Structure 1
Amino acid sequence: MISYSEILNVDTSDVLIPPPDELSEAAYTNTRLDYILKSVVASDDIEMNGEESEDDENESAIDTVVQSTDLNHTTTENEPSLESRALIKGSKKNTYNSSSATHSNWKLMRVMAGAHQGWVRSVAVDPVTNKWFVTGSSDSTIKIWDLATSKLKATLTGHIMGVRSLAISKRFPYLFSGSEDKTVRCWDLERTNSEAGCQIRDYHGHVGGIYAMALHPELDLLFTGGRDSVIRVWDVRSRAEVMVLTGHRSDISSVVSELGDPQVISSSMDGTIRLWDIRKQTTSLTMTHHTKSIRSLVMHPFEMTMCSGDSNGNLKEWLLPGGQLLNEFGSAEDSKIVNTLAINPASNVLFSGYDDGKMEFYDYISGSLLQSDHSSPVAGSQQSPLYASTFDMSGLRLITCEGDKSIKIWGESNETAA
């Protein structure tokens, strides 16, 4: 059996496994103790300094982990201005364009018919190389695909029920999966040549299916949520359950994690979005603007904004960390159920996929509808609900996972949509 490196064409010597970083390890140890041992961190160590000098910005990695992100905006009685959303994070400051999308003309490029033996329920693109992606299905398998050729590279088995959520680590060659069998599993993709397989860990604790998961961008923490209405936080290294976040009253549909506060955000079928204070292990803010169950929540890759979609076809855009409502768009026409949302990292185009197979592309800034389409079911299927979607890291391809057991690849045409 060939190795992970050969399967995915990844140079693991310098891409997936970072060199030892004593400062990063110190940050992890400090924060891990704060979470697990619940030690009290002096307020002077975590208080945001409103006017940092250039020397202070790089003084400590710990400050980056524990401080809230400063949005440089003033909250007023009026709707937050568009300028307040232009916070660009990290190395993307000079490359991200925060202007509105001018057009959208996405066309079907490839159909991977029969990709799975059941509904395709989850998808994730490799965030490091952008060369491969993984899908999970109700047939209980996980499949790894070459992004350029759509060829199957590997099939992972072990779950006994449908795979509903996936997360890929940026730090290590680890893939995490959540299933309706109530288990979370960790796969070491470098061990595909092992006789025992590449599954290296199980995380047990949920009493219902796992529908959503997210990895912390800096710490080795995994957040999982699902049918039991709680978010469980796991220490990836020790496999220990760090904490349980309670408050939702129905299935958790999405979980996202950010570097700045709020570090964890979740949506639920109870119609609410919760921003969590993971130091106090409590809800810091509950947003109740949706009147129907929330099926999907997506974070903008560069802004501190996010979008949520509900079972009435309504889309709402939010500004963080305060949770201000920036915009409302979409409609409840024909009671369209939003199953999946994705934001193009190369442009401000929001994709919305519906339970009836309808596809819509919106200008993320203004909320105007740019394109409306419909995913046609493959031969032998009468309908093709969209269950999961994601853009690749370049923003050139859109991957949709559907109820006709297919995976479809979409690309944007150079021709302007009529």
Structure 2
Amino acid sequence: MKFAYRFSNLLGTVYRCGNLNFTCDGNSVISPVGNRVTVFDLKNNKSDTLPLATRYNIKCVGLSPDGRLAIIVDEGGNALLVSLVCRSVLHHFHFKGSVHSVSFSPDGRKFVVTKGNIAQLYHAPGRKREFNAFVLDKTYFGPYDETTCIDWTDDSRCFVVGSKDMSTWVFGAERWDNLIYYALGGHKDAIVACFFESSSLDLYTLSQDGALCVWQCDTPPEGLRLKAPTGWRADLLQREDENEDGDEDEDGEREATVRGKAAPAAEEQQGKVKYSRLAKYFFNKEGDFNNLTAAAYHKTTHLLVTGFASGIFHLHELPEFNLIHSLSISDQRIASVSINSSGDWIAFGCSGLGQLLVWEWQSESYVLKQQGHFNSMVSLAYSPDGQYIVTGGDDGKVKVWNTLSGFCFITFTEHSSGVTGVTFTATGYVIVTSSMDGTVRAFDLHRYRNFRTFTSPRPTQFSCVAVDSSGEIVSAGAQDSFEIFIWSMQTGRLLDVLSGHEGPISGLCFNPMKSVLASASWDRTVRLWDMADSWRTTETLALTSDALAVTFRPDGAELAVATLNSQITFWDPENAVQTGSIEGRHDLKTGRKELDKITAKHSAKGKAFTTLCYSADGQSILAGGMSKFVCIYHIKEQILRKKFEISCNLSLDAMEEFLNRRKMTEFGNLALIDQDAGEEAGVAIPLPGVKKGDMSSRHFKPEIRVTSLRFSPTGRCWAATTTEGLLIYSLDAQMLFDPFELDTSVTPGRVRAALRQRDFTRAILMAFRLNEKKLLQEALESVPWDEIDVVSSSLPELYVEKVLEFLASSFEASHHLEFYLIWTQKLLMAHGQKLKSRAGTLLPAVQFLQKSIQRHLDDVSKLCDWNRYSIQYALAVSKQRGMKRPSEPLGSEEEAGASDDNDDDDDDSLHLLGGGHGGEDEDGLLA
């Protein structure tokens, strides 16, 4: 139960590929991120990743009209039917081919899937339990090339399909007599989007070369006639007519209306549905490569949004084709566009940079603007209170993420090369980063600026960074000169250069309790440097292989080192004695790359753990590396406690242990043959030891790996920077029954009986032994506020930690702030002295409590400041109005002087609030 960590959220990437969707209320955007789906709640400013994953990267998402169901299809044709209400997978299905788009009918009864050059109509699953969720109704043929887009009429009678063969096909969703299919031409490039007009069969089609065709239909939707049944269907209907009773059920009524419409249809013999082109418009082309790439249409407001390969988007009003707005929002291709139900917000996805933008076009402002790291993330660090995570990437950017909302709120771009290490100082308001550009920079989270830049006398590449517990000493290790540089945070001066290592520095870590720095190097040693005693080397720890990572236990009494031979060794830093080791080669279980000439078993010999992190209590260690697994080990017992598979995405390389047999031919592996490369050599085989792959190759598949791991200071969650993004795993205690010292006498009934007898202490103890959240809440909130002092002092010491943990988790959701604050204060006042002896084990619970209280403090303080400024403004306005009234004659010079003084005071107060005269104190106002 202690290590029941589950996938909680995905940060660091906001959009990868696929189509964007707004929920039916228009307040949230559903964005595919790799093989996962993230929901961005724009009203409450939160992001949440669904706890499900497909086997490959997601290609398209179809959302039902009521917003309850979603069909998620990946690149391999595997589909998941997902309930967005309970956030779980209801059904798995394989479409046996690459699917281009999915769209539900407006009535929610059917959905169309386009794959290859065909369209398939399926019955959509309803709320009733069904044997088969996806039942194929019809398959529509017509286009000669791949299909690209779908749109439905408002009454779900017809749908239109666009194709790469420059044609658009209108199909009837039922067996209509006057419309089976209708093909439309008129374009000179692949169709990007096609839309029906509201309550009409009129069409708009858009092609890649920036052409818009307006099509008019000579038949209204009500003019579609059902085809009269023939053969065995007609005989069946006739028999039903003879046998039916007076009371018809719903299906009988529908069949009667069908027959009623079909009968006169044969008599009227009206003509077939015909389309005529009313107009053809062209978008302004600003270059040869400015292709139209995505479009969306809002039928109620007649608003057309088009995105182009240059990152420009246009807003037009149809059918007159009036340009409303044109703006460049990115320098990359716009891959997907979506409009919410009210037509106010437009979502844009740019797959090249991983951008997600939501634009309010009427006020011309951003509702959401997020972008992940362009290349892979390399390092991360938690703030001391656990509220923020800072990440550094190969793109040279440093981003700070809010763990509660999941959004990035500041990006620092001062580094000109890849960031190799990030860390927070003990205060939590300064971030220190190292980079390959030869600088170590300190960033201020109060003013969001780079206030210190540390450099070395000779240009060098820094591979790691560390800051001591006081925040005064900054150290960084060099990759090329094998030296460690020490700077003062206060002055920014270089204090010393530590020499002695004979290989690149791979890791640095300060002892949390003493001024001792541990440095790991590829020269098979870990050196301990005393910062207080003239920077001398106190100990040199000899290892059996190259050191890749080093970290201290939170109490500073133990040191863990990861080496190249897949071992984790533990040392006593005081006596320089090895206390234990863990062999991790079998737990890494690396996969085989597509282009590897050797098997996964032999490939694993070169893999190792590259990042380590102690748990908050120091009893376990988290390890990750060149593998899709993250392992938690028990240090004392030296056993594997749990192993997490961070990804199941086969779109990444090195995921499978064995190669796909379908790709193995008599000529060798098909993955080694590049059909598109015009050279005889084919695919270039990557060199041994290359971690990141060749980004310039045509078929680049990023390799799965874990670059950095950190436990939250609260101990409730841990984060990992991986090829997919920043994954957060947290304890989901609500779904687990985890009792504590339970016996048969403890029941919910006994707890409530004790509460009725006002025996609050016994009720709380029994509730904590059952460990059910609702019962705990009921027991604690039943205590009157004036008796909290007595009850908290009578609690045994063993239960104090559990009460503190519960209070911390309650702060995140409860509105009873003052009540729970009184509980916290009384508990700490009553048991503070006793708890000092167990400070190490209690630290995570206290930090969790601090994080929750700090978040409320930030929210309430903003509200209080806003109220205070509003009151000051109201007072100033009322004084200003009072001054404008005609004043009474003053009796004496003293009164006149007093009134003048008052007027001056009023003027000052108005100046401070921005309502003064003339601008004489403009600088003061701006300050």
TM normalised by structure 1 equals 0.69
Query: Does the residue aligned with 1:161 lie in a helix, a strand or coil?
Result: coil
Contact 1:113 1:378 in 2 (8 A): no
Amino acid at match of 1:149: S
Q: Could you report, residue by residue, the CA deviation over 1:236-277 in whole angstroms, capped at 9, with x for unpaired residues?
A: 111111111111111111111126556111111222100113
Q: How far apart are the structure 2 equivalents of 1:134 and 1:349?
A: 23
Q: Which residue of 2 aligns with 1:274?
A: 527
Q: Which residue of 1 aligns with 2:494?
A: 241
Out of 696, 700, 704, the residue aligned to residue 384 of structure 1 is: 704
Matches within 5 A, 1:202-351: 202-205=453-456, 207-218=459-470, 220-227=472-479, 228-258=481-511, 263-278=516-531, 279-289=533-543, 291-333=544-586, 334-335=604-605, 336-346=607-617, 348-351=619-622
Q: Which residue of 1 aligns with 2:207?
A: none
The question of 1:361 aligning with 2:613 is answered: no
The question of 1:408 aligning with 2:757 is answered: no
Equivalent residue pairs, number: 308
* Larger helix fraction of residues: 2
Range that drifts further, 244-253 or 172-181: 172-181
Q: How far apart are the structure 1 equivalents of 2:444 and 2:719?
A: 24
Q: How far apart are the structure 2 equivalents of 1:325 and 1:339?
A: 20
Q: How far apart are the structure 2 equivalents of 1:187 and 1:117?
A: 21
Q: Which residue of 2 aligns with 1:178?
A: 434
Q: How far apart are the structure 1 equivalents of 2:554 and 2:459?
A: 32
Deviation at 1:173, TM superposition (A): 2.1
Q: How far apart are the structure 2 equivalents of 1:398 and 1:172?
A: 18
Query: Does the residue aligned with 1:190 lie in a helix, a strand or coil?
Result: coil
Q: How far apart are the structure 2 equivalents of 1:208 and 1:161?
A: 12
Range that drifts further, 177-186 or 102-111: 102-111
Contact 1:137 1:162 in 2 (8 A): yes
The question of 1:123 aligning with 2:394 is answered: no
Q: Could you report, residue by residue, the CA deviation over 1:323-369 in whole angstroms, capped at 9, with x for unpaired residues?
A: 21111112344333111111111462211002122211101222111
Query: Does the residue aligned with 1:207 lie in a helix, a strand or coil?
Result: coil
Q: How far apart are the structure 1 equivalents of 2:704 and 2:405?
A: 23
Amino acid at match of 1:364: I
Contact 1:123 1:389 in 2 (8 A): yes
Amino acid at match of 1:202: T
Range that drifts further, 182-191 or 376-385: 376-385
C-alpha distance 239-294 of structure 1, shift in aligned 2 (>3 A):
same
Deviation at 1:288, TM superposition (A): 1.0
Query: Does the residue aligned with 1:150 lie in a helix, a strand or coil?
Result: coil
Range that drifts further, 130-139 or 274-283: 274-283
Deviation at 1:111, TM superposition (A): 2.3
Q: How far apart are the structure 2 equivalents of 1:259 and 1:384?
A: 32
Q: How far apart are the structure 1 equivalents of 2:463 and 2:628?
A: 20
Q: Could you report, residue by residue, the CA deviation over 1:93-130 in whole angstroms, capped at 9, with x for unpaired residues?
A: xxxxxxxxx86333222223633111111111111x32
Q: Could you report, residue by residue, the CA deviation over 1:53-112 in whole angstroms, capped at 9, with x for unpaired residues?
A: xxxxxxxxxxxxxxxxxxxxxxxxxxxxxxxxxxxxxxxxxxxxxxxxx86333222223
Matches within 5 A, 1:30-49: none
C-alpha distance 232-361 of structure 1, shift in aligned 2 (>3 A):
same
Q: How far apart are the structure 2 equivalents of 1:295 and 1:158?
A: 27
Range that drifts further, 234-243 or 358-367: 358-367
Q: Which residue of 2 aligns with 1:199?
A: 450
C-alpha distance 341-246 of structure 1, shift in aligned 2 (>3 A):
same
Query: RMSD between aligned alpha carbons?
Result: 2.2
Amino acid at match of 1:292: S
Q: Could you report, residue by residue, the CA deviation over 1:290-331 in whole angstroms, capped at 9, with x for unpaired residues?
A: x22211111111241121111221011111222211111123
Q: How far apart are the structure 2 equivalents of 1:143 and 1:332?
A: 33
Q: How far apart are the structure 1 equivalents of 2:415 and 2:650?
A: 28
Query: Does the residue aligned with 1:116 lie in a helix, a strand or coil?
Result: coil
Q: How far apart are the structure 2 equivalents of 1:169 and 1:260?
A: 14
Q: Which ranges of structure 1 fall in alignment gaps of 5 or more residues? A: 1-101, 193-197
Q: How far apart are the structure 1 equivalents of 2:644 and 2:490?
A: 44
C-alpha distance 186-103 of structure 1, shift in aligned 2 (>3 A):
closer
Which of the pair has more CA radius of gyration?
Answer: 2
C-alpha distance 327-109 of structure 1, shift in aligned 2 (>3 A):
same
Q: Which residue of 2 aligns with 1:66?
A: none
Out of 419, 422, 432, the residue aligned to residue 166 of structure 1 is: 422
Q: How far apart are the structure 2 equivalents of 1:378 and 1:226?
A: 35
C-alpha distance 140-319 of structure 1, shift in aligned 2 (>3 A):
same
Q: How far apart are the structure 1 equivalents of 2:520 and 2:645?
A: 26
Q: How far apart are the structure 2 equivalents of 1:111 and 1:359?
A: 16
Contact 1:103 1:370 in 2 (8 A): no
Query: Does the residue aligned with 2:446 lie in a helix, a strand or coil?
Result: helix
Deviation at 1:285, TM superposition (A): 1.3
Deviation at 1:219, TM superposition (A): 5.8
Amino acid at match of 1:288: A
Deviation at 1:284, TM superposition (A): 1.8
The question of 1:374 aligning with 2:627 is answered: no
TM normalised by structure 2 equals 0.32
Deviation at 1:373, TM superposition (A): 2.8
C-alpha distance 331-393 of structure 1, shift in aligned 2 (>3 A):
closer
Q: Could you report, residue by residue, the CA deviation over 1:158-197 in whole angstroms, capped at 9, with x for unpaired residues?
A: 10111111121224722111001111111112113xxxxx
The question of 1:189 aligning with 2:508 is answered: no
The question of 1:398 aligning with 2:710 is answered: no
Out of 8, 13, 34, the residue aligned to residue 109 of structure 1 is: 8
C-alpha distance 314-413 of structure 1, shift in aligned 2 (>3 A):
farther
Q: Which residue of 1 aligns with 2:403?
A: 147
Q: Which residue of 2 aligns with 1:28?
A: none
Query: Does the residue aligned with 1:229 lie in a helix, a strand or coil?
Result: coil
Query: Does the residue aligned with 1:264 lie in a helix, a strand or coil?
Result: strand
Using CA pairs below 8 Å that are at least 6 residues apart, which structure has the higher relative contact order? 1
Q: How far apart are the structure 2 equivalents of 1:106 and 1:259?
A: 26
